[in-house]
Amino acid sequence: MQSATGKMINAYVPGRGNLPADQAAMAERRARLLGPAYRLFYETPVHLIRGQGVHLYDADGQAYLDCYNNVASVGHCHPRVIEAMSTQAATLATHTRYLHDGVLTLAERLLALFPPELSHAMFTCTGSEANDLAYRIARAATGGSGVIVTDNAYHGVTLATAGMSMSIGPAVAPGPGVFAIAAPTPANYPEGVASGFAAAVTAACGQMRAQGIRPAMLIVDTVFSSDGVWPDPAGFLADAAAAIRAEGGLFLADEVQPGFGRLGTSMWGFQRHGVVPDMVSLGKPMGNGYPVAGLVIRPEVIAAFGAQSRYFNTFGGNPVSAAAALAVLDVIRDEGLMENAARTGAVFRDSLAGLASDRFGEVRGAGLFIGVDIVQDGQPAPDRAVRLVNLLREERILISATGAQGHILKLRPPLPFSEDNAAQVVETIARLLPRL
């Protein structure tokens, strides 16, 4: 992982760690074959060979508690998702320019989970593609090209979306016409997060116009994950959405990380804010590891793009991806995973907040998406955060760190995560804190 300042957070550096000879050889082989831009988590990388539920297993059969993966949202290798994928793959796996019921059923099921104003669905393979497509649509709808993001955002890896992703490093961001504003934190907006963040949106539009650029859209991850997990106060995004619309732009809610019930009280993060976006992007958790993603849109927003362009994606919404995504929706509903996220997440947050320590700062989050500030003398302590992440890895608990300075623990486990799993994490952190 890399902070906006370019500092490598919690990454493998060749020559460090206590890897067995065969895994050290694999790491060197990886570096040789995949090149210098790839990174591995942890000072001592983990060699994983299988997953089940909320656990991952290494080559020696040791179980690691996964507190990080929202990709396997309904649990690693969920049997219902695997069965749906394999059955469809054994029946028909082709591109998307033939009639097929699967993508239509998926669109109907998905749109039923959104406000009625959002009534069109488009399908891609990745969240990066979805955000890239949204930008194309926004340009057609508004005639503008300016984009507003937060200052440590992550929205994808295409040329356009990498330029909207401050968190992946200064070599690619910000892109042309991208204007970064401060994340919605009380420290950044002491006058009030809602009014302050909205004012920042308006000010960024003013900067655009001074440069001859028309606003196209405001894009935010609705839990502000890469900025450090800032979901509250609930409702504050409504003012920012109104601000960008007043300037002629659109509001894009990036639900790739917070969506699909993770926040506990609602299926989508934007619903906590009482606002209906112009577009909503979906990604990683949608297929539980199978590449399927999408965009949900107001029909009036897509009209200009549809009149000017054809949209074609060879694999976006293909029969196998549709089957995987439908199975994920079934599992979330049938296993009560959104309700579990609310219940377990509340216990998890309260238990973490109970670890009174001069090393622990604020604990915040919604559902099973939690951020914890690691501090020293009340100031951000990224070295301590990295140390704790790596100590937890040695205890076979996998988490990460986030935020512009890399000092915020990021806890984002699969949705079946239980209160017993949460207790294991809290007890382990309590034992490790004195070692910081």
Cα angle for residues 380, 384, 385 (degrees, 5° grid) = 80
Total number of domains constituting the chain: 2
Q: Which helix (H) or strand (E) holds 218?
A: strand 215-221
User: Domain check: are 258 and 316 in the same one?
Assistant: yes
How much is the average pLDDT of 373-392? 95
Round to whole Å and give the CA distance between 84 and 82. Answer: 6
- CA 297 from centroid of its chain's CA atoms: 19
For residue 175, give the DSSP letter: P
Q: What is the CATH number of the domain that holds 242?
A: 3.40.640.10
Where a domain ends, among 267, 300, 334? 334
Residue with token string 């028909």: 92
Say yes or no to pLDDT of 65 above 90. Answer: yes
Question: For position 37, what pLDDT does the model report?
Answer: 85
Say yes or no to pLDDT of 10 above 60. Answer: no
Q: How far apart are the first and last CA of the chain?
A: 20
More confident residue, 356 or 265: 265
User: Domain check: are 194 and 245 in the same one?
Assistant: yes
Where a domain ends, among 286, 319, 334? 334
User: Domain check: are 327 and 345 in the same one?
Assistant: no
User: Domain check: are 351 and 324 in the same one?
Assistant: no
When computed from its CA atoms, the radius of gyration of the chain, rounded to whole angstroms, is 21
Where a domain ends, among 334, 368, 386? 334
Say yes or no to pLDDT of 9 above 80. Answer: no
Confidence of residue 8 (pLDDT cuts 50, 70, 90): very low
Round to whole Å and give the CA distance between 50 and 370. Answer: 25
In-domain check, residue 139: yes
For residue 60, how many other CB atoms are within 10 A of its CB? 8
175 and 339 Cβ atoms separated by less than 8 Å: no
Residue 392 belongs to what domain range? 42-77+336-435
Helix (H) and strand (E) counts for the chain? 12, 16
Residue with token string 């949900």: 296
In-domain check, residue 19: no
User: Domain check: are 157 and 117 in the same one?
Assistant: yes
Percent of the chain with pLDDT over 90: 86
In-domain check, residue 185: yes
Long-range CB pairs of 78-86 (<8 Å, 24+ gap) are 78/288, 78/327, 78/331, 80/327, 80/330, 80/331, 81/287, 81/288, 81/290, 81/324, 81/327, 81/328, 81/331, 83/327, 84/323, 84/324, 84/326, 84/327, 85/290, 85/320, 85/323, 85/324, 85/327
As given in the structure block, the two tokens for residue 156 are 């994808």
Question: For position 14, what pLDDT does the model report?
Answer: 40
Percent of the chain with pLDDT over 70: 96
In-domain check, residue 295: yes
Round to whole Å and give the CA distance between 281 and 346. Answer: 26
In-domain check, residue 35: no
In-domain check, residue 154: yes
Query: pLDDT digits over 209-267, tens only?
Result: 999 999 999 999 999 999 999 999 999 999 999 999 999 999 999 999 999 999 999 99
User: Domain check: are 431 and 305 in the same one?
Assistant: no
Cα angle for residues 382, 10, 31 (degrees, 5° grid) = 150
User: Domain check: are 73 and 85 in the same one?
Assistant: no
For residue 245, how many other CB atoms are within 10 A of its CB? 15
Torsion of Cα atoms, 331 then 334 then 339 then 344, to 10°:
-60
User: Domain check: are 418 and 349 in the same one?
Assistant: yes
Q: Which helix (H) or strand (E) holds 83?
A: helix 79-89
Least confident of 32-36, 125-129, 385-389: 32-36
User: Domain check: are 232 and 372 in the same one?
Assistant: no
Q: What is the pTM of this model?
A: 0.94
User: Domain check: are 65 and 100 in the same one?
Assistant: no
User: Domain check: are 328 and 358 in the same one?
Assistant: no
In-domain check, residue 249: yes
Question: For position 17, what pLDDT does the model report?
Answer: 59
Bridge partners (DSSP) of residue 179 are 148
Q: What is the CATH number of the domain that holds 414?
A: 3.90.1150.10
Question: For position 194, what pLDDT does the model report?
Answer: 98
User: Domain check: are 158 and 95 in the same one?
Assistant: yes
Query: pLDDT digits over 28-42, tens only?
Result: 999 999 998 888 889
In-domain check, residue 66: yes
Q: Which amino acid is at 349?
A: R
Say yes or no to pLDDT of 1 above 90. Answer: no
As given in the structure block, the two tokens for residue 370 are 């939690």
9 and 2 Cβ atoms separated by less than 8 Å: yes
Round to whole Å and give the CA distance between 131 and 219. Answer: 9
Say yes or no to pLDDT of 12 above 70. Answer: no
Ordered strands of the 48-52 beta sheet? 48-52, 55-58, 63-66, 397-398
Per DSSP, the three-state class of 336 is coil
